[in-house]
Structure 1
Amino acid sequence: MKDWIMFFVDIMNNVHDILIILLNDVLGLQMTDKDMHFWIMGIIGIATFAFVYIVSKWLSKLPYGIHLIAFLYTFTFMLVLVFAIEIQQALTSRGNMEFADAIIGLWGFFALFLVYVAISALFICVRLLVRKIKKKYS
């Protein structure tokens, strides 16, 4: 996992350097590192917000759309959490930083979420059956 992180760090460093050259040298904007972080992260953040807003609005109109939104939000949180834990283990040398640990942690979330879905489906089926029986005998 450390190799993967270093790979992505190298990519981000290259993108950072290219942006400095492009914005400062080619366009002559003379932006500081802080200026670049302000604008680039602001643009990435607002573009992400727009995408998430559009998808959430669409999902909310679907049956069980709020469940889908909650699942996506929770899954995003879990992604950040499992990788933060693995990075923390590497930085503090308390445990081994392994990609497999992060994946297994996410599988744990998926497994328990499927249990939740199964229990919810069971309750929905029982409720529909009770309604059907009541309607038949009313």
Structure 2
Amino acid sequence: MVQFIKFIVGIINELHDKIIVLLSLLGLNFTDKELHFWVFGIAGIILFVFVDKIFKWISKWSITAISFIYTITFLIIMVLAIEIQQKITGRGNMEFNDALASILGFLAFFGVYVAMKFLLNLSIKLYKGMTEDKRMDGDE
């Protein structure tokens, strides 16, 4: 997990340095806060447009899919925050396998939830089908 975070931090630091050089070449000397404002503003709006298009497309089939995407994203952020907190405070061990176990736990419980929802919906359809058949038999 530490190596993964160091890898991501390395990429971000390289990108940060390249943006600073590019802005200097353009004669723009932004403070760190101004740089954050512009980079996250632009990246955020691009991400929003992309996510909005995808979610609108997915919503034609299932709102549950959007709920799943939101939940898994939130959980990944929480898991990473907890692992980083464990590293900083020394309470617990920061391990990739802990993070993986956390996400797999959600996926397992989500699989059970989906299976139960499927079986419930199937049972309701079968029950409605049987009652429809009985009503039709009684009418004839």
Identity value in percent = 47
Q: CA deviation at 1:77?
A: 0.3
Give the aligned partner of residue 101 of structure 1: 98
- Segments of 4+ moved more than 3 angstroms: none
Take 1:11 and 1:118, find their aligned partners in 2: how far apart are those partners? Answer: 40
| 1:126 paired to 2:111 | no
Larger radius of gyration: 2
Give the aligned partner of residue 79 of structure 2: 82
Please list every run of 5 or more consecutive structure 2 residues that lacks an aligned counterpart in the other structure: 136-140
Please list every run of 5 or more consecutive structure 1 residues that lacks an aligned counterpart in the other structure: none
Take 1:31 and 1:82, find their aligned partners in 2: how far apart are those partners? Answer: 33
Q: CA deviation at 1:55?
A: 1.2
Q: CA deviation at 1:49?
A: 1.1
Q: RMSD across aligned C-alpha pairs, in angstroms? A: 0.8
Take 1:11 and 1:56, find their aligned partners in 2: how far apart are those partners? Answer: 28
Give the aligned partner of residue 4 of structure 1: 4
Q: CA deviation at 1:50?
A: 1.0
Task: Give TM-score, length-normalised by structure 1.
Answer: 0.95
Higher relative contact order (CA closer than 8 Å, sequence separation 6+): 2
Take 1:9 and 1:124, find their aligned partners in 2: how far apart are those partners? Answer: 46
| 1:116 paired to 2:119 | no
Take 2:10 and 2:110, find their aligned partners in 1: how far apart are those partners? Answer: 35
Task: Give TM-score, length-normalised by structure 2.
Answer: 0.93
